[in-house]
Structure 1
């Protein structure tokens, strides 16, 4: 068996992923089939299965390649401004990337229930792309006493959740004013008394 660092294996894996990404962009997750990926990549079916144990793992890895990350705001700005900038960046990323909706729908269908496979890595990657920058802002504000410590994952849901839901069910896109309202509502519940 070839080592994972074998250049031929890496090249084949790269071709398979390139093909899966192209198919995903062109036709969504349903377009990423074993037959289509092997045809577009020119790589044999057996090689595909040596690199990816399932079509779901291949699709998850293709989505991970396309996963955008929000822009982190400057850390010296006031907390409200940091959160508005980050929330606006998240909203743009959610609303302007049609593939995001496809990915959430695909993940919501319960694909690959394990956390130790490519689908689990994709789930963690999605969570981290939204949570990590907000956790950083909240940690600093809690440490300096600006915010009352609280559940940071709930904060992610409070800021990004409404934007994701609006996108998923087809409501109007969120504006910066909408993000300001979400942030102000959140801050009202978490600002320390002396801030």
Structure 2
């Protein structure tokens, strides 16, 4: 039997159980953050047996990583032909759209809880979580880094601080004031940022 024929004969129950487990983990992560994504909570919500969960996700960290990746849509990249200011604005608008959605807020909560109690503390688990966090940070920081390198003088090019100054107000709106970060708000953030850096 060829590999293709074997793949065609895959038991559909495996896909259904994996989907149910991931849906439950994503819902728990969205509702309450990392501490809510426990094996007990996921099995209770999904209706899938613990042994089946472990067949799909051998560790709780792998389950958490898979749920987080489901919640993390890719950041829409800016038009490479636009001016640096317009590319920066496109990134900020794209980030605002993601933050205004519940899954992005859950992602922020997840990242902020790394290292706090409730997160697996074994060395191997911490290493996996650290690697996942690095991929997430790079996924969001990378596009900003390329554009900010053109917008900032080399003497004041602290990309992490610059990205925080641009994204921080969006998070503040979403988590504190409850106001949406519309395009006009994003324009003000970008223009004020660039004016302060000249």
* TM-score (norm: length of structure 2): 0.71
- How far apart, in 2, do the equivalents of 1:22 and 1:83 lie? 34
Pairwise mapping of residues 41-120 of structure 1 onto structure 2 (< 5 A)?
Answer: 42=48, 44-46=49-51, 48-49=53-54, 52=57, 54-95=59-100, 97-109=101-113, 110=116, 111-112=119-120, 115-117=126-128, 119-120=129-130
- How far apart, in 1, do the equivalents of 2:46 and 2:178 lie? 36
CA 1:179–1:66: 2 relative to 1, 3 Å = same
**1:116 partner SS:** helix
Pairwise mapping of residues 1-195 of structure 1 onto structure 2 (< 5 A)?
Answer: 17-27=18-28, 28=31, 29=33, 30=36, 33-34=39-40, 36-37=42-43, 40=46, 42=48, 44-46=49-51, 48-49=53-54, 52=57, 54-95=59-100, 97-109=101-113, 110=116, 111-112=119-120, 115-117=126-128, 119-139=129-149, 141=150, 147-149=152-154, 150-191=157-198
Where is the helix percentage greater, Structure 1 or Structure 2?
A: 2
* Greater Cα offset, 73-82 or 98-107: 98-107
Cα displacement (A) at 1:128: 2.2
Residue in structure 1 matched with residue 3 of structure 2 by the alignment: none
Cα displacement (A) at 1:74: 1.1
How many corresponding residue pairs? 178
CA 1:103–1:72: 2 relative to 1, 3 Å = closer
Gaps in structure 2 of 5+ consecutive residues: 1-6
**2:127 partner SS:** coil
Root mean square deviation of aligned Cα? 3.4
* TM-score (norm: length of structure 1): 0.72
Does the Cα contact within 8 Å between 1:17 and 1:61 map onto a contact in 2? no
